[in-house]
Amino acid sequence: MSKLSLTVTREIWPLAKPFVIARGSRVETEVIKVTISQGVLFGLGECVPTPRFGESVSGVIDAIESIRGKLITFSGELSQCRQQLQHWLPAGAARNALDCALWDLAAKAEQTSVAQLLSFIEPKNITTVQTISIDSPENMGKAAALLKNLPLLKIKLNEELVLERLNAVHENAPKAKLLIDANESWDIVLLEQVANSIKHLPIVLIEQPLKANQDEVLKGKSFAVPIGADESCHTCSDIPYLAQRYDVINIKLDKCGGLTEGIQMAKLAKSNGLQVMVGCMVGTSLSMAPGLILATQASYVDLDAPLLIKVDRPFGLQIN
């Protein structure tokens, strides 16, 4: 069996327009692409380091490089290498890129797809939300008008002008259901106020309203709208806690450390009565591809990041 080789590339991708959430804005995204080769075959993976979780591009590259020796000298099956990877690196962006590249390589070696390796249905005609960044109510309404024929819109919000922004979006896209993402910017008082004030709106989910370290107060509370965990949700070990406070968990491969952990999270979440959402960081279609496989197991899908990039990778995903 041929030895593995590893190539790591740092890339910057300009965005089509500023992407604004409660924590700040950006005009470009920086990703790390990894290629794991074995003979003439190669597998690709991409990760997006996230400062919110203590990551930097240079730090993630260092983490990947720290196991280069273990990877290129590994002599077992690719499935065994994926399992070892779970011990070599903690959950996070570095492990995600490598894990997804190993899955891609394994599928090519077997002349099949990753979905078939997992006995999942092929991810065809997956419906993803499309995201509207924080802006003035007027501008968010204009953005919604351009997306008015889509079934589900994700609305980024902070603690300001919540109802004004939501009403503007709904007025301009009246047929679309709305998913709120507050990115930890609310407190419990505001959450309760909003939950009581949006009954006239087609809201399907409020995602991560409270700070991850302040969601203890959700235990025992009930809301008419499901509450989702994003920044509070990382790996399988979080699920027992989350199941007592949330209705939905958002699995992002860059948080959990790859498709291997993501699959286990989806299974465990469902067994604990939680619905599954599959989300993403601001990456290219290469980041979205493994997420699409997991999306076949999810109730909500948020994989629209390639639409935020000015020019996606060649042969990227088709998102309508």
Q: Which residues are designated catalytic? A: 156, 252
Q: Where are the beta strands (DSSP E) in the chain?
A: 4-21, 24-38, 41-47, 130-132, 152-156, 177-181, 203-207, 227-229, 248-251, 275-278, 300-301
Tally of CA atoms within 13 A in the half-sphere of 5 that contains its CB: 8
- 282 by DSSP, 3-state: which? coil
From residue 264, give the alpha-carbon distance in Å to each of 90, 124, 243, 282. 15, 22, 15, 23
Phi/psi at 319 (5° precision): -120, 120
How far apart (Å, rounded) are the C-alpha atoms in residues 142 and 134?
12
How far apart (Å, rounded) are the C-alpha atoms in residues 276 and 269?
7
Handedness of CA 267, 273, 275, 280 (dihedral sign): negative
Give the pair of three-digit tokens for residue 189.
Answer: 């008082």
**Single-letter amino acid, residue 197:** S
Burial (CB count within 10 angstroms: exposed 0-12, middle 13-18, buried 19+), residue 24:
exposed
Percent helix, strand, coil in the chain, to 5, is 40, 20, 40
DSSP 8-state symbol, 52: G
Query: How many helices, marked H, and strands, marked E, lie in the chain?
Result: 12, 11
